[in-house]
Every structure is written in C-alpha cells, then in structure tokens.
Amino acid sequence: ALIERWNPEKNTFYLPTGEMTVTLEDVFQILRLPITGRPVYQAGPNVARAAITAVFGPAARDLTQRGLTFTYGIMFAAHPEATRLAVVLMIVVGYYALPRVDGGRFPKSLMCIIREMIEGSVTFAWAPTYLAELYRGLWACRRNHRTTLDCAYLLHCWAYEHI
C-alpha cells in the first residue's frame, strides 16, 4: 500500500497527513550506515577481475558474465582468513547493503569494494548508496517492473517510526 503512494518525480510518499520521504538521516538512524566516506562505485571488468584474483587467488575461474557465484565463495570458506572475510563481506554487501544479488551471483563490478574493505584503508558512504537503491527499487515497483522491493527492511522500519 505504501508503494502506491510513492511519487518517483519527487521521491516522496503522498500520505493523508502530507508528503514524507526517507532521508539520509533516517538511513543512518535506522541502519547505522555511514553517511560520509568514499562513494561506493562499480569497477570495470578488467579491474574487477584483478580484484577477484587478488582476493581469491589465481584459481578464481568460476566467473560468469553476471558475477561470482556464492557457491564459489562458500567453497573457499575453509581457506585463509582474508578469503573467509571476503565471503562474509560479499554476503553482507550483496544481500543487505546493496541488494543486487541475482540468481546467487555477486556482481563482480563490486569486488574492488570488497578488496578495499579487507585492506581496511577506506570507509565507504553506504547510507547514500542504500537510499539510492531504495529509491530505485520504489521507482521500479511503482512502474510495475517488479513486485518485490530490495530495501524493504529500511522501508518497513521507517514506516513504523514515522507513520
């Protein structure tokens, strides 16, 4: 019912009490995702392949056009700490932070972020990225492109607190 009240042109919900929207502050307060830091980015195919090789080693051959399969990551879960951390980060980023996992495949364009997170030298601005994913998902649902919303958890919590 909330999606029916979504106005994609203004990124707001039209409610009987007026217009409301999910803000960066809401994302921070609900999910505790950082607002500041480096922007989340997607790397090109050659850079992504190099990142996958850096994280999983030269035997990383289970690549498809769409991404790295999670079964591949689980297969490596018995390997060194960095590899296990990569698998956990892939699950957190792929299913929760940027819910774009399609058919159990992690987008290889995001592997550079995983590599940088393992190195621990960079803080990423996850809140703006997550908010953009929510808006993108609401737009797609409103336009009848799909029936499920990737960032539903945030929307449910926000609605509980504000409506």
Each domain of the chain, given as residue ranges in start order, spans: 3-36+126-162, 45-119
- From residue 20, alpha-carbon distances to 6, 16, 69, 117, 162 in Å are 10, 10, 38, 34, 9
What local confidence, expressed as pLDDT, does residue 64 receive?
A: 52
| Mean pLDDT for the stretch of residues 131-136 | 89
Token representation of residue 5:
């009240």
Q: Would you tell me how many other CB atoms lie within 10 Å of the CB of residue 23?
A: 13
Query: How far apart, in whole angstroms, are the C-alpha atoms of residue 93 and residue 98?
Result: 5
pLDDT at 148 over 90: no
Query: How far apart, in whole angstroms, are the C-alpha atoms of residue 56 and residue 84?
Result: 10
Per-residue pLDDT tens over the stretch 78-113: 566 767 788 788 878 877 777 665 656 778 888 888
Task: Give which of 61, 64, 57 is closest to 86, Cα–Cα.
Answer: 57
Query: How far apart, in whole angstroms, are the C-alpha atoms of residue 117 and residue 160?
Result: 32
Query: Do residues 28 and 35 touch, judged by C-beta distance below 8 A?
Result: yes
- Of 46-50, 131-135, 141-145, the range with the lowest mean pLDDT is 141-145
Question: Would residue 148 be called left, alpha or beta, if left means φ above 0 and alpha means ψ between -120 and 50 degrees?
Answer: beta
| Mean pLDDT for the stretch of residues 116-145 | 86
Bridge-based pairing state of the strands 68-69 and 6-7: unpaired
pLDDT at 150 over 80: no
Query: Do residues 151 and 130 touch, judged by C-beta distance below 8 A?
Result: yes
Token representation of residue 95:
């299913």
Please calculate the CA angle 138-68-154 and round it to the nearest 5 degrees. 25
| Mean pLDDT for the stretch of residues 118-127 | 86
Per-residue pLDDT tens over the stretch 24-75: 999 999 999 999 999 988 888 888 888 888 887 766 655 555 566 666 555 5
What local confidence, expressed as pLDDT, does residue 157 receive?
A: 93
pLDDT at 20 over 60: yes
pLDDT at 9 over 80: yes
pLDDT at 1 over 80: no
Please give the backbone phi and psi of residue 65, each rounded to the nearest 5 degrees, phi first: -65, -35
Task: Give which of 112, 124, 122 is closest to 53, Cα–Cα.
Answer: 112
What local confidence, expressed as pLDDT, does residue 102 receive?
A: 63
| Mean pLDDT for the stretch of residues 147-163 | 84
